[in-house]
Amino acid sequence: MGADVREAGPADAPRIAELLGQLGYPASHEEVARRLQYWAATPNSCILLADESGLVVGCLSVHAVPYLERTGCWARIESLVVDTTVRGRGVGRALVAAAESTASGWGCLDIEVTSSRTRADAHRFYARLGYTDVCDRSGRFIKPLGRT
């Protein structure tokens, strides 16, 4: 795998927007540029990119959340997308390894990722990397708060 992992910058917004579209979350580069601003301002949060010879071929966002019920924090991979043209070449594995290293550096005790039940290939990928599906012991409940 010839991709280098680096942190995203403002100039990466157009390419990140393209990748998010491939994941099923279309966004304009202006929207992504605004999102990059608030991610950059959030402590223990970062967006990692896989860069292959000057072309961004993958994107992952990760952030840390403090525990209250025990000392420490946990990390969450919020999104991961690899360009359809390079899937299966180790880009996703490199991004996840970088996220795990980043989370470890923040002192995180655990790292999690959520993935839609319709993404069977992604589930197999995460399982190969040592992630365990724990949905049989924990529910995930979401309530929209509305828009401003």
- Please determine, for residue 79, whether its predicted confidence score (pLDDT) is greater than 80: yes
Residue 118: inside a domain, yes or no? yes
How confident is the model at residue 118, as a pLDDT?
Answer: 78
- Domain of 35 in residue numbering reads as 4-128
The residues pairing with 76 across neighbouring beta strands, listed in sequence order, are: 63, 112
- Please determine, for residue 147, whether its predicted confidence score (pLDDT) is greater than 80: no
Residue 145: inside a domain, yes or no? no
> What CATH number did the domain enclosing 41 receive?
3.40.630.30
The domain total for the chain is 1
Residue 135: inside a domain, yes or no? no
- Please determine, for residue 132, whether its predicted confidence score (pLDDT) is greater than 90: no
35-59 tens-digit pLDDT: 999 999 999 999 999 999 899 999 9
Residue 141: inside a domain, yes or no? no
Choose between 97 and 127: higher pLDDT: 97
H or E, element range at 113: strand 108-113
Q: State pTM to two decimals.
A: 0.89
Residue 49 contacts residue 7 (beta carbons within 8 Å): yes
